[in-house]
Structure 1
């Protein structure tokens, strides 16, 4: 295990590798379909269910018992990190996977920003993000949020 990994019992957070790509695409697709409020938009825009491999260098994966169960991608933009993806395998939702991934990203010590899916704003608020504006997206207006890492939970 590398020094950058975040461990919690049998849970490891590590950088993604090329061999993870198929699993990431599968988690992205299945997790996206669990948000009931998004289904109509996804039916209209099935291309939104395709995860872009170009993000692979920015991805951290959560692994439990050797299985990738979630991932987050955060790429540097100016003086902050833009959280592009945060997805948990539906079988592992509500078990702290996404929270662990946010903690891992916050450890980099940089402000984290995200254009949040309006249907999951409660999760982002629960891990310390605050609304800082509104972004216009292909799916309509969405909250723009940020996490002040000096206030992030340990």
Structure 2
């Protein structure tokens, strides 16, 4: 059995606290650098590897055995939540952590929108997000996607 198998009984999702900030910054940086296609762009913009501490009040943290294994930040804008951050510790990627974080955010019952990293489109579609258009960012045009949590998911 893979010891990294995700069991809901030992996964805790909670609100982030100030003591989590260093761990959040670490996960943010390491996870960002795992996307090979983004490395050149990140090298040009090293400031993109600095997590915005202002997101702390909007951040939910995934904890397994006392360790931060991922986090998501979703702040309210008008009548929806903007998913600003969704990062998983590289040691825990593809184990279901991000999916559980999206489920946690969706429980708020409000539409969730994201300016999606093109490398993450498949993930977002797999958890129910739908393309809605394109956003122009410093890194170029990227998809805008939304999750309508008021609709029953297949």
Tell me the TM-score normalised to structure 2 length. 0.93
TM superposition shift of 1:125: 0.3
Compute the displacement of 1:152 (Å). 5.9
Q: Which residue of 2 aligns with 1:4?
A: none
Give the CA RMSD over aligned residues: 1.3
Residue number in structure 2 paired with 1:76: 76
Structure 1 unmatched ranges of 5 or more = 1-6
Distance (Å, rounded) in 2 between the aligned partners of 1:99 and 1:152 = 17
1:121 aligns with 2:121: yes
Q: Secondary structure at the match of 1:75?
A: strand
Q: Which runs of 4+ in 1 moved over 6 A?
A: none
| Counterpart for residue 36 of structure 1 | 36
Task: Find the aligned partners of 1:59 and 1:68 in 2 and give their Cα distance.
Answer: 12
Any unmatched runs of 5+ in structure 2? 1-6
> Where do residues 5-154 of structure 1 align in structure 2 (5 Å cutoff)?
8-151=8-151, 153=153
Distance in 1, matches of 2:64 and 2:39, equals 28
Distance in 2 between residues matched to 1:67 and 1:41, nearest whole Å: 30
How many pairs were matched up?
Answer: 148
